[in-house]
């Protein structure tokens, strides 16, 4: 059998393109912002993770330009050898301080951060307990590890989590991994109960706060801060590609854990370090988030405004308190039709279909930015009302 036969027989995207319903790979012609130009059209962006609105902020752009001019386009090596800049060390120090941890280590992407941290921490005698809605990077990090067993508990179901914890032998290490703010549903992990169970069963906790940072917690410090449990969470992960307006990721933890990851994580050791411009933009964004708490307030206010307007219009949403508002479309084909119609009305949303969600639970993932305006939300709601009245 030809290795590429599966590639030749894979025609689902082409079939969707023939119907005019293929929703992916719309090319942006402008910077990521609350309104963008895609396919020559002006579009209200309701699909970005630019929660703080900093990707087009003059300060982050200038910080990136300055680093580019002073330090060049890349580091030409891994952090382990010639690829460490003073800028990297400064970024890690301020990230550690931001998360109220002893240390932090950065990776080239958020996805790689989970791969590198999980695979290095977990050994052959250890168990992993995963929330069923955890991000794909967590699942792949678990696959890359040598875990004795990876167990999945029902989403935010603490009874199911305890049932699985009871199965772990006392002599084995165990790591509970959860998203802080879940990327699809927008709900928040039940961290207080996870902490109680972790103490009871002597487990450690890793919170992936890729979506939580900037959105929840004191000055946007994330889910652990939101619950006042920073001292109880062992590792906090985040990415730079969302609120921090750049590319990269980090793990913050105790100095011993960070030291271990630095010297044992293959994705860290064998990858080139973050380019100077990316590190500088992330550092600048981190300082803005810390110093301008009104951005977080604006983000939640605009999301709550949109949530109330959608409910008034009779649009079926998942209730929540974050800046992610899922809109139910249920059927896969209907999801693609609505996505296309909204785009034609000047609103960009992200269609979510299986396997990201169960069959019959298709949705539009809408997300919001601190710099969105109510006028933009009003226009978007009118588009939703028009489209949902027709489909």
- The rounded distance, in Å, linking the Cα atoms of 222 and 226 is 6
- Are the C-beta atoms of residues 174 and 167 closer than 8 Å to each other? no
Q: Which of 242, 243, 271, 273 is catalytic?
A: 242
Going by C-beta distance under 8 Å and a sequence separation of 6 or more, which residues neighbour residue 108? 247, 248, 249, 271, 272, 273, 274
DSSP-assigned states of every residue in 316-344: -B---SSSEEEEEEESHHHHHHHHHHHHH
Cβ neighbours around 68 below 10 Å, total: 16
242 is catalytic: yes
- The rounded distance, in Å, linking the Cα atoms of 7 and 51 is 36
183 is catalytic: yes
- Are the C-beta atoms of residues 174 and 205 closer than 8 Å to each other? no
Chain-centroid distance of CA 250 in Å reads: 12
- Residue 104: closest CA among 221, 233, 238, 4: 238
Report the alpha-carbon angle 14-42-385, nearest 5.
Answer: 80
Strands (E), 180-283: 204-208, 235-239, 249-253
Q: Which of 101, 135, 211, 372 is catalytic?
A: 211
- Are the C-beta atoms of residues 249 and 240 closer than 8 Å to each other? yes
Q: Which of 108, 137, 183, 246 is catalytic?
A: 183
Going by C-beta distance under 8 Å and a sequence separation of 6 or more, which residues neighbour residue 88? 79, 106, 273, 274, 279
Positions annotated as catalytic residues are 183, 211, 242
């Amino acid at each position: 059998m030809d290795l590429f036969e599966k590639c030749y027989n894979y025609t689902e995207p082409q079939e969707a393109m023939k119907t005019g319903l293929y929703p992916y790979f719309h090319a942006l012609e402008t910077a990521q912002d609350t309104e963008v130009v895609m396919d020559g059209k002006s579009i209200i962006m309701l699909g970005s993770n630019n929660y703080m609105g900093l990707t087009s902020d003059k300060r982050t752009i200038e910080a990136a330009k300055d680093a580019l001019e002073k330090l060049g386009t890349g580091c030409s090596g891994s952090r382990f050898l010639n690829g460490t800049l003073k800028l990297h060390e400064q970024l890690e120090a301020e990230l550690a301080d931001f998360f109220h941890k002893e240390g932090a280590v950065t990776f080239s992407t958020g996805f790689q951060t989970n791969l590198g941290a999980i695979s290095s921490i977990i050994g052959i005698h250890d168990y992993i307990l995963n929330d069923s809605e955890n991000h794909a990077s967590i699942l792949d990090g678990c696959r890359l590890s040598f875990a004795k067993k990876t167990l999945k508990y029902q989403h935010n179901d603490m009874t199911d989590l305890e049932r699985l914890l009871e199965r772990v032998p006392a002599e084995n290490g165990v790591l509970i991994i959860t998203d802080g703010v879940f990327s699809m549903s927008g709900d928040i992990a039940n961290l207080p109960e996870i902490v109680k169970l972790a103490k009871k069963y002597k487990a450690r906790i890793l919170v992936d706060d890729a979506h939580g940072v900037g959105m929840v917690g004191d000055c946007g410090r994330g889910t652990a801060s939101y619950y006042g449990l920073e001292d109880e969470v062992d590792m906090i992960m985040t990415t730079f590609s969302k609120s921090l307006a750049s590319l990269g990721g980090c793990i913050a933890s105790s100095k011993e854990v960070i030291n271990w990851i630095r010297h044992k994580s293959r994705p860290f050791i064998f990858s080139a370090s973050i380019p100077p411009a990316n590190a500088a933009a992330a550092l600048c964004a981190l300082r803005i988030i810390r110093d301008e708490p009104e951005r977080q307030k604006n983000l939640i206010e605009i999301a709550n405004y949109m949530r109330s307007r959608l409910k008034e219009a009779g649009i079926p949403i998942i209730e929540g308190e974050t800046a992610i508002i899922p809109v139910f479309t249920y059927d896969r084909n209907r999801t693609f039709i609505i996505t296309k119609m909204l785009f034609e009305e000047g609103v960009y949303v992200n269609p979510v279909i299986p396997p990201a969600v169960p069959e019959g639970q298709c949705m539009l993932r809408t997300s919001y930015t601190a710099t969105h305006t109510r006028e933009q939300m009003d226009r978007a709601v009118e588009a939703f009302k028009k489209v949902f009245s027709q489909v």
